[in-house]
Structure 1
Amino acid sequence: LAGAGGAGGADGAGGVVVDVVTAGDRRTVGPFDLSFHGTRHNLIHSSVPIVDNTGVLVNGRLFHPGDSYTVPDVPVEVLAAPVGAPWLKVSEMMDYVLAVGPRLAYPVHEATLSDVGYGTHTGRLREAVEPSGSLVVLRPGESLTI
């Protein structure tokens, strides 16, 4: 599955079939029911064109917004919460998590942060999540069963 906009079914590189999705689309892939929300990447800078970005809700429980602060129009139990990115501002990340109000969140999109920065950002994420739920910080190789 690929970003937002347009019809699906085009062959990608190497004969891979690409199914382009956008907000409001639904797909079933194996055991996964996928619904898609949002259409635009968050602003990095006025000199950088905004591209398509569509978040995905998996089995009605886990939402990954991609590179955006899309708030789905359905409740989110588990949120993959971006904590580091060229477009991310900590205060906006906290407001986003408060708006979504997940029961559980875990930080993603952290590779742009140093260990110190990651600790700072996940601390702020914890503050935003704890009014409605809890935070699980996964280290490389760890997984979360929901």
Structure 2
Amino acid sequence: MKFAGAYSLHNGQAEWERRELSDWLTDLFEAPSITIGAGCTGKIRAHISNELSSGGWSNQVRIDPNFDLTVTGRHRDLAFQIQTGNISRAIYDLMKLQYLFQQRKIGAAALAVPTKAAGLLIASNVASVERVWNEVQLFDRIITLPLLVVGFE
């Protein structure tokens, strides 16, 4: 697995850089021992979880104490979400991140999804960075948080 690129919405890149975590974020995906393909999502998620923990992030953080809805990680005023499943889940992830921002629990976030090519290797109808980025731009008045959409392959 490797970092493929990132897209910035509402100064998302600048917010990660301001917190000096931009390089750390992209380095999360530099894992040559993980091969993208069918059945790889468990290895990807375990790798991300370990990296978040070693970086001082909380894992699987509830967005509200009354609901069993979580984001992959949270550190200070940043949230991180990875999606290796269906495209509809990625849009749902954006709603959770936007909720945290509107509740003033975070100041910026990142959503990581595979590239289209990598997604095709994982399964059918997997979220892709290209599709998520196109749709995020369409809804940029609804999705108002500083966001980085990160692609990996």
Superposition TM-score tier, normalisation by shorter sequence: 0.3 to 0.5
Select the structure with the greater relative contact order (CA < 8 A; seq sep ≥ 6): 2
When normalised by structure 1's length, the TM-score is 0.35
Q: 1 or 2, which has the higher helix percentage? A: 2
In the superposition, the TM-score normalised over structure 2's length comes to 0.34
